Structure 1
Amino acid sequence: MDNRFVNNLKAVLEVLQSQFNEGSSLQHYRYLLIDRLAVVSELSPLYDEALQDNIAPELLAVIKRPELAHSLTSCPLLVCIAEPNEQLNQNLFVSALRQINIDYLTSKQYVCGFLASPLPPESLADELLNAGLIAGKALGRRFLPFYEPFTLDVLWHSYEAPKSHLGLLLPDDTHYYFINTNGDCCVFHAIDYEDEKEFAQRFVNPKLRFNLLNQAALYHLVVTWQDLCEQQKKPLSEQALSRIMALFYDPQATQLDNDQDRRAYVLFSLQYGQLMTNEELSKLIKEVIEDSHKQGQLGYLLSQRKEALSLLSQAQ
């Protein structure tokens, strides 16, 4: 586990407690958003049966994700942890932060985020479902599960000013908080739009399409880089996802047609520095791009250039 992530979560705990127990959020419903496609211990207060037994039914609401609507127990769940002008259910709130810690960089995370909204549970669930449908339609999909933490982190990094775009997903006067790959708390607030055409124009851009198309590859790169950092006994580099996405999207990487070559390009760049600034390595990468017989071998070929990699690393 990355110690910086743990330390950041401690700071997030204090920030969210302050946000949710004071000011305008105190007058709102406050929620956990849970993805029940993920796994949680049966001993956790967040376990589905525990929630059904201990929380009033009117404080729970299912987001009826279209492809899962035949099995509502698999659909995302809104859990109200405080009604307007009431203090947080501290047990559920702290359990949620603990679960985020447990689920760090897993492919499916149980706790997706926290919301504050004037809408009661069923109304908010309907609005979030509608947002996923509209976002999906804008991208040529049936539904966009934007609430999944890694998906939301990818969305966040697809804009220069993410709050000016992600807020389109929220109903009036609603605020969304999620924990990103670094353990930082990202926040966005509702933004109005006229119709679905305006939504699509403001929400979708080429970089977003590219990043969502390559989300699985980006996730595996982050996990691999985390494993490498652990092996080398160093923390996951700050803004790791941002750096990985920038490298994955840069002109050299996009010319590498082979998935393994692109993966090698990103990982070697993270480890040693910008490969294209070294003449020998730059020439090698261009050869792989142009020679079909060398495609799929970039990782191996780079590993043979130990002197050039060492010089590049020293220049960082």
Structure 2
Amino acid sequence: MKFTLRQLQVFLATAHHENISRAAASLNMSQSAASGALKEFESLYDVRLFERAGKRLKLNELGRQLWPRVESLLEQANELESDLNRHHDLGRLKVGATLTIGNYLAVGFMARYMAEQPGARVKLEVANTRAIADRVLAFDLDLGMIEGEINHPDLELVRWRSDDLVAFCAPEHPLAGRNQLSDADLLEQDWIVREPGSGTRQTFERGMHGLLTDLRITLELEHTEAIKRAVEAGLGISCLSRVSLQEAFRRGTLIPLAIPQRDFSREFYFVLHKQKYRSPGIQRWLELCRNFPDQTAPDKVSH
């Protein structure tokens, strides 16, 4: 074997940062040492892995093919080092979650995971479905937990659990006392919705098929809690995941609205890179999430 793990680390850091100076800084190396390691790696096999355009280094086709394999190899090397140092520690996990999952479910998973494995560390990033998928695709996250569906040849989408959206209003809203709403009722309301790119918005638009272009969408907000506060303030009605509304429904600060003719059911998914090494930590996280009790089932409201 002619290459070294250090050369692979420099290659990977350069692929991520597209700049040798930033790659060197991320590895605590001098720029000259990092540049030399990359040049030596390419010279060993008489190949070029990057296209150089000024200060930017963009992976060429060969480099893109090597990237996931190098990522997987270094992941296994890091796990081996972790096992040698700490016997069998699940180690550090980088998890991405969409806003509903991150704000209302993921903390419970983190607590259970870290209680099982003393010394384990979990870094959680919260963003919308599109952003989480992009981060998994770039190997910046070990796995994602998302609300929407995505399609990419390098990503694997694994069904996790069912969810549904619920329309709701403030207790003082004229619709609060209605048994159910017609499509005509929906068209007369001011709607407050999540931003494009979110899984919740994707499900809402699918559920409102045929009405979407005529709905009065007055506000688009990126945060679930901001939408709930806006509805409480009487600015309109909305439609969010049941997971995010359970406590407000119990307190009576928000009122569910029944729309039986509209289907707002959906699935939560795990998203993983097909070529990423599935470490024991990733496998345990997936198992833990699948076995975690569904807290929403007892409180479901028909709609």
Higher helix residue share: 1
Q: Please confirm whether the aligned pair reaches a TM-score higher than 0.5, indicating the same fold.
A: no
Query: What TM-score do you get using the length of structure 1 for normalisation?
Result: 0.27
Query: What TM-score do you get using the length of structure 2 for normalisation?
Result: 0.27
